[in-house]
Amino acid sequence: MTQVLCVAGARPNFMKIAPVMAALADTGIAAQLLHTGQHYDAAMSDSFFSDLGIPPPDHHLEVGSGSHAVQTAEVMRRFEPVLDRVQPRAVLVVGDVNSTIACALVAAKRGVRVIHVEAGLRSYDRSMPEEINRVLTDQISDLLFITEKSALANLAREGIDPARVEFVGNVMIDTLYRNLERAVPASRTLGGALPEYAVLTLHRPSNVDDPATLAALLGVVGEISRTLPVVMPLHPRTRGSIEKFGLSDGLDGLHVLPPVGYLEMLGLMRDARLVLTDSGGIQEETTALGVPCLTLRENTERPITLDEGTNTLVGASPDAIRAAFEDVMGGGGKAGRIPEYWDGRAAMRIAHTLQGWLPAVKGVRALSATRAA
């Protein structure tokens, strides 16, 4: 009998599900992997499975892209028959993408227990679709694993029983430590060595869907590139916006790359002088690597990277970005330290908790016995 059906849907999920699947296998917990196909580009999906040694999915929904409503609904529609066939004791979801809330919601309505890895993170910005996914997933989860202690306070404010919450650390950092020695050197990815450089990633709708904001960001990054070369793996969404708004000139002078695999990106970050990003995961990875990070957002759901790590929140203001960049180049910026339990063993803590928790799960709740009329 499959005890846990694990769900991954998009690029941010893959680094989190890899150590979880390995730890479940090491502790003898029978698990299957379902890939919703929320990211369908090979460079954004298939290469990550290869790089991280994730076993081939037992189930692939091949959902593809769409609006938030269409994508979430399609994941739910395709996931339910798989759930009925597999009949696991629990469904494990990670992170905050559309697949996370979609599969959690189907499982909860079918009476199957839900486990949420990376629970309790909050930006308190409801304009972010990911924030809605986080809040709702946590409300319907039976067991919540958190990466930092601030998440416990967030969940308590929302009425979630602390007995359902376990502080285990950050599975994404498990993956980073496990693969750091395998990271592709930046010189190989770039086709030659740069003495120093910055890495830039942009993909958040707030930054790339508005032409004025995107133009301003590309403008200040262009200024930075005249002092420090800027390497930019270009997200498909961002490329589309640049072409749509006629901003291709803003890429002049930047070292633009297509989407890169995990090991290439890890090498680029490890060897960088500085990272500029609007990604949540990269805020955590740069903290683990000890690399200064300037986050191009007005808020973050990962406050520990500000309080203990190397992250500085600068928003999208060119003046703020310039000032923070000059501070780093002048020897300032945050040195940071490694947060508690970011030690490469978070996934094993999860597996050990599940060894004790799963035997108490008696099967689906009575709710699943009655289908909606």
Residues marked active site are found at 203
Neighbours of 369 (CB within 10 A): 9
Tell me the two tokens of residue 123: 């930006």
Could you tell me how many helices (H) and strands (E) the chain has, helices first?
Answer: 16, 13
Neighbours of 67 (CB within 10 A): 9
Q: How many residues does the chain have?
A: 373
- CA neighbours closer than 13 Å in the CB half-sphere of residue 83: 29
Neighbours of 365 (CB within 10 A): 14
Which amino acid, 295? T
- 361 contact partners, CB below 8 Å, separation of at least 6: 89, 90, 113
Which amino acid, 72? T
Tell me the two tokens of residue 370: 């009655």
Tell me the two tokens of residue 160: 């979630």
Cα(1)–Cα(229) distance, rounded to whole angstroms?
A: 53
Q: Give the H or E element holding residue 243.
A: helix 236-244
